[in-house]
Amino acid sequence: MAKKISENMKNLKLLIVESPAKIKTISKFLGNEFRIMSTFGHIKDLPPKKLGVEIDEKNKKITLEYDVMADKGKTIAEICKQASHCNEIYLASDPDREGEIISWHISQEIEKVFKDKSKIHRISFNEITKPAILQAIQNQSVIDIHKVNAQQARRVLDRWVGYEVSPILWKKIRKGLSAGRVQSVALLLICKREEEVVNFKSEEYWSVHADCKNKTNPIFPIELYKINDKTFKLKNKEQTDKVLDEIKKESSFEISKITEKKRLKKAAPPFMTSTIQQDAYNKLGFSVSKTMMVAQKLYEGIPLQDPSKPEALITYMRTDSLRISDTALKDSRNFISKKFGAKYLPKTTNVYSKKGAQDAHEAIRPINVEVTPEIATRYLKQDEAKLYSLIWKRFVACQMTQAEYFQRQVLVTGGKYTFKATGSSLMFDGFLKVYAVEEDDEKSVQIPKDIKEKDPVKLQKVEGKQHFTQPPPRYTEATLVKELEKQGVGRPSTYAATLSTIQKREYVIKEKKKFQPTELGKAVDKMLRENLPDIINVQFTAHMEKDLDKIAQGAEKRDVVLLEFYDKFKKDLEKFGGKKIKKEVLDIKCPKCGAPLVVRFGKAGDFAGCSKFPECDFTSNFERDESGKVKLIKQEKPQESEIKCPQCGRNLVQKIGKFGPFLACPGYPECKYIHQEALKMPCPKCGGKVVKRKWRGGSFWGCSNYPKCKFAIFGEVEETPCPKCKSPYLLVTKDKEGNIKLSCPNKECDYKK
């Protein structure tokens, strides 16, 4: 019996994935001989508190130092323990560069307990279905070291920029700032657009409109197109009124030309990462991060008919490829023919491609086209159903026939004036039957069918309309992603993190869903542009992405690319670090001493301060108008409390800090006393004071000797000793009705009141 168990153990196989959510979905496809475990994402990274990148100048080599991530020791130990009992290992992390290095890292750990390296296989799949999983196991491979090198190169570049530039920003602007190879370019684009908006000078212009009519046909609107067969520009009301007077005096107008043609509109290609982020934002109102989060769930598997068996609904959602598998094409064509009829099915499949795509896996598509949005909606949450419907419709539409429009253009001429009207009507909906496109909702003039050239017409309601040129629109999440992709900056899979970072760092804010740089963001951007022009720019970052692709393909060496970057970067960095940065000088004098005010940055944000600080301590909040002009905001007198400062005797005043209001001495900087609420009881661990502390999530009571003593109480307390165990305090909680409950914090004591 023991021998049989031992043999069964030897036949065990271990399959390792990134996300635990995939385990349940995959387990139903494999037999009992498989154990499935997850790394829960990355298990190793460069050290958190040092650079971790060493350059050997003599041999032109770069060495990376990796640490096990803080919370992954137990995960690695459990995987290695299971691996030691198995006969074969399958590394099935995601099929991209990040997935490749996860497999590489876990394989290094497994090799310590699993000696036969030939039995450690790398497998990848684009969809979580039984055929895809079984095919991946049959087509086992090895870790692609070129992909690993590409990921390492990207990580080192980001680490260099982040670790080397950020401390300079801390020193020259304020603590807590960061720079990033891609995030700084995203900030650059937003700041440049803001400059265009602020500097934009609106210009007035006019257009001329009329209603056109003859005896037998209905009225249709026309617009002045040419004067003397030339394009024109009416700059003001005077010019427009002169033209209107002349048109009204013109006695005869006729239809001078009718142009008719058929227009075909192709379906959009299937989704890739960047386009689904844009469309989900525009059509569903999803942020980029939300789109990726929901798509991840659809990819990993969601229970449909059987609650115990999750099913993957879409292919891998991090891709820049538009390729579709032959099986998926065949299934979609069968579905379209059956559901919509032969006229909606093109004679040959519609093929899409994207220049420069990595093409590691397919476009984003439904795994089973027969699972329509109507079916899926019964089982999915609202957001999941919306996104799945969008993906399904886009995919099916991309394999349908083109939409057909009948377009007519009519020219109406009288004397030297020519008017125009364009009408477009949908003749055959084609792919629009499934996937509506916003451009096709355009307003179209209804032109009468039986009008003919040379027909005389009359003009009614001839009038001018005033317009003003508009500045370029500020970026939304969708348009910023589109621009980053267009410029070749970053990878679609990183856009969500990039947008999140520039907001967390308070470099940008959203006003009506549109990005605007903060004063801090503009200062950081200006500093980087002036001091690292060859590094923090669109063209360089796009070029670097191409080099990373070449490393992944084996066409470039990792260390050659990195050292070429670092040689130039190091020189710019040394110059930047030693350069004295000038603060922005405002066109406002200090009310206290008359010196110019400058923009400064503190923990609570930006403010105007005297350029003679510390001799003069004047500060003020400020605001800018649309033209960028600065105006000081009148400071309200701090609210005085009755509590006396124990150090100098003045009444404490209320101030506003990062975590809200607090009491402090008005004599700052001579007196730096800050009032802290404290309990009467001493810390039960070390005898220190127990004071109220504040953080982003609220407040708590903690020992003043932190970090030496980590005693803390989360919640309100009553300083009444427990009558049962004599604990020095009781915890206070309230229920929904507002009833107060007292309980002892001692876990061994059950006292409650």
Residues 6+ apart with CB under 8 A from 622: 586, 606, 607, 608, 630, 631, 632, 633
Backbone angles phi, psi at 558, to 5 degrees: -55, -55
660: left (phi over 0), alpha (psi -120 to 50) or beta: left
Measured CA to CA, the distance from residue 527 to residue 531 in angstroms comes to 6
Backbone angles phi, psi at 144, to 5 degrees: -85, 100
The interaxial angle of helices 558-578 and 145-160, nearest 10 deg, is 0
Instruction: Confirm if 715 and 729 have CB atoms less than 8 A apart.
Output: no
Instruction: Confirm if 512 and 527 have CB atoms less than 8 A apart.
Output: no
Measured CA to CA, the distance from residue 169 to residue 157 in angstroms comes to 18
In degrees, rounded to 5, the angle at the alpha carbon of residue 566 between the alpha carbons of residues 564 and 571 is 115
316 catalytic residue (yes or no): yes
Determine the residue type at 136. A
Measured CA to CA, the distance from residue 113 to residue 77 in angstroms comes to 10
Give yes or no for a cis peptide into 596 (omega within 30° of 0): no
Upper half-sphere CA count for residue 238 (Cβ side, 13 Å): 0
Q: Could you tell me how far CA 470 lies from the centroid of its own chain?
A: 27
Question: Residue 123: which of 97, 90, 148 has the closest Cα?
Answer: 90
Instruction: Confirm if 346 and 264 have CB atoms less than 8 A apart.
Output: no
Residues 6+ apart with CB under 8 A from 698: none
Q: Which of 316, 417, 475, 566 is catalytic?
A: 316
**CB atoms near residue 193 (< 10 Å):** 22
Q: Which residues in 478-500 are b (16+ Cβ under 10 Å) and which e?
A: bbbbbbbbeebbbbbbbbbebbe
Catalytic sites, residue numbers? 316
